[in-house]
Amino acid sequence: MRVGIEVGGTFTDLVAIADGRVTVLKVPSTPKSPDIGAFNALAESGIPIPSITELAHGSTVATNAVLERKGFPTAFVTTAGFRDILALQRHGRSRIYDLAYHQPPAVVDRRSSFEVSGRILADGSVLTALDLAAAERDLVPALAAGGYRAIAICLLNAYVNPAHEQALKALIRAHLPGVHVTVSSDVTREFREFERASTVTLSAYVQPVMDGYIARFAERLKEHGFAGRFSVMQSNGGRVPGEAMRENAVTALLSGPAAGVTGAARQVARSGYGNLITLDIGGTSTDVCVVADGRPQLTNEFMIDGLPVRIPVVDINTVGAGGGSIIWVDEGGMLRVGPHSAGADPGPACYGRGGTVPTITDAHVVRRTMRADAFLGGRMRIDADAARTALAPIAERFGMSIEEAADAAVRVATANIVRAIQLISTERGHDPRDYVLVPYGGAGPLHAADVARDLGIRTIVVPPSAGIISAYGLLASDFSQFDSRTLRAAVDDTAPAVVRETFDAMRERAVARARSLGLDGELALEFTADMRFVGQAFEVPVPLPLDSLATLTAADLRARFGAAHQKVYHFGAASDRPVEIVSFRLGLIAPQEDAPRLSEPSGTAGEDRAIELYTDRAWRQGTLLSRGSLVPGRSVTGPALLDDSTSTLLLPDAWRAERDAADNLILTRETRDA
């Protein structure tokens, strides 16, 4: 029995797979205590906890700790003269026309920032020795008096020589044994001081939160007789054993969305598709990602609440266009959707939990593209009258009927989603028309056809039980870890030797750590160099095939860089400007030999019936059928709604759907939309 539990902002999803049988379940999340929602899902599923051999978990605990500023009191320690680095940040402005713009506040203020004497230069040499005696005399008592639960250490140039950081960590741990100490050289060994300081500070800030959460979760499982393997999802699309996450919590900041991408890629690959754009629409937000040749694209930095985190993560773009996103009118009289959400409590007005503001879920209920009598398989009551009441002020404001207002709001949400996909596809050298769209999450299949139409995508692949794909991705993902190291090297005749020596050192460190975590068996490695023209400010990642490292030449490096640069910036392949390597990245993967397969749950078939839907500014006659009734060999054309217990699929005019041998629904456009 394998179980995946993913805690989202609105719902907690569970998928259990045993002997080919699939059990899926969605229950409301409990934001104040996410573990309660997880155990509620286990209880409602009826699965005996002692029978579970593997439990994979993903949650928004770390993310919420940052967004809501609910981490533990944290101190920041840096090199003398750099105390204000968290406050100074970068001079860029995310909103250039906002005259009252302020940089996002760091999670550690100036009063909790401290300095130590000692200086390492950019080449790793020691200019001034670390004054441990002064640190013991002055710093340690100040940290003790401050009552800090976590301490982040980021010393200048520690990415190239971590000796001072490691010595200071040992000193503080010896005097303050109950305090979490996190150093930048353990989290990210890369240059750019502010990004490195921000990353280690956020890691320290959420570490006690994740440590306590995982400890409580594991202990409660043990109390109920669980003796299997417990793992936690990372932001890079791979898992680690639960104990490992208690040492580096920052890798869990985007665990839920990353699990969804991994699950979607694994399931859709069974239908022969490797180039996809994933579309995850949940209760709070929409997450989109490009998957090329079956592999989710990774990025080396992302922002959370305006603060940079420099670690490898699945390259996901997020917008506030989930089912709970609030519909409102701005100061200029324009209709808006999100980014604010009604969340799980009180939730959309139609949930009947005290919510009064209109949301996208309410709009779908009004349009009848979401059935009030079948939400969560009929296990949750939906109040259609409350949805209409919530949308009435919007309709009155624009002189529309309530149905017209609901339809307009859904089209605004779709436009927001289309723009989010363009940012990670078109603007990064990927033509959306060369990809298939893979929608999942509770509302992904509702919006998929409209999104595909606007992007020129002609094929949509909808996995079975689309509403719980993130939970499935927890089980489908491999165990993985990533390491990075900044090491500048000119691309000349000496570069190949530098590449090989760096790879050998990083491989040895990564394999040793993987074995210490209990990751036995075959390990796969991926090696990448971040390269740029000399004088450029930013780099492009260049994959380096391991089977050719032994014969690698400077000309090979230049050619690979030129091709990568050309794809992103449309020039560079023919340039003779000098090139340099800036950083190296190593990915280690422990593949699953028997990854579970997701299939259509049995017993979901039902009779078709005629319904009325309001889409594209008009009422339309359509067909309602259960997804389970669409057996292989049968097809259906729109307008139609296909229901299952986790999501609803909207099939508009000019689209046809059929189920393939992998239990995926394949949607194709039959004609061009008017």
Question: What confidence tens digit (pLDDT) does each residue in 282-301 have?
Answer: 877 888 999 998 888 888 88
Average pLDDT over residues 401-426: 93
Average pLDDT over residues 258-268: 92
Residue 671 tokens, joined: 């004609």
If one counts every other C-beta atom within 10 angstroms of the C-beta of residue 280, the result is: 31
> Tens digit of pLDDT for each residue in 607-617?
788 999 998 88
> Tens digit of pLDDT for each residue in 296-352?
888 888 888 888 999 888 988 888 788 888 999 998 999 999 888 887 678 899 988
Distance CA 435, CA 318 (A): 19
> Tens digit of pLDDT for each residue in 126-164?
999 999 999 999 999 999 999 999 999 999 999 999 999
Is 596 within the bounds of a domain?
no
Is 633 within the bounds of a domain?
no
Quick one: pLDDT at residue 408?
Answer: 96
Locus of tokens 């990025």: 299
Average model confidence (pLDDT) for the chain?
89
List strand residue ranges (DSSP E) for 169-306, in order: 180-183, 229-233, 239-241, 276-281, 286-292, 295-296, 298-299, 302-304
Percent of the chain with pLDDT over 70: 97
**Helix runs in 401-494, H state only:** 402-424, 444-455, 469-476
Output 99 or 57, whichever has higher pLDDT.
Answer: 57
Distance CA 11, CA 15 (A): 13
Among the ranges given (208-212, 432-436, 605-609), the one the predictor scored with the smallest mean pLDDT: 605-609
Domain end (from 590, 610, 627) = 590
- pLDDT band at residue 674, thresholds of 50, 70 and 90? very low
Estimate to the nearest angstrom the gap between the alpha carbon of 592 and the chain centroid: 21
Is 667 within the bounds of a domain?
no
Is 101 within the bounds of a domain?
yes
Tell me: pLDDT of 597 over 70: yes
Asked if 298 and 261 touch (Cβ cutoff 8 Å), the reply is no
Is 67 within the bounds of a domain?
no
pTM: 0.85
Output 461 or 376, whichever has higher pLDDT.
Answer: 461
Q: Domain tally for the chain?
A: 2
Domain end (from 539, 569, 590) = 590
Range of the domain at 564: 479-590
Distance CA 340, CA 272 (A): 38
Is 624 within the bounds of a domain?
no
Domain end (from 531, 557, 590) = 590
- pLDDT band at residue 378, thresholds of 50, 70 and 90? low
Is 607 within the bounds of a domain?
no
Is 489 within the bounds of a domain?
yes
CATH code, domain with 86? 3.40.1360
CATH code, domain with 494? 3.30.1490
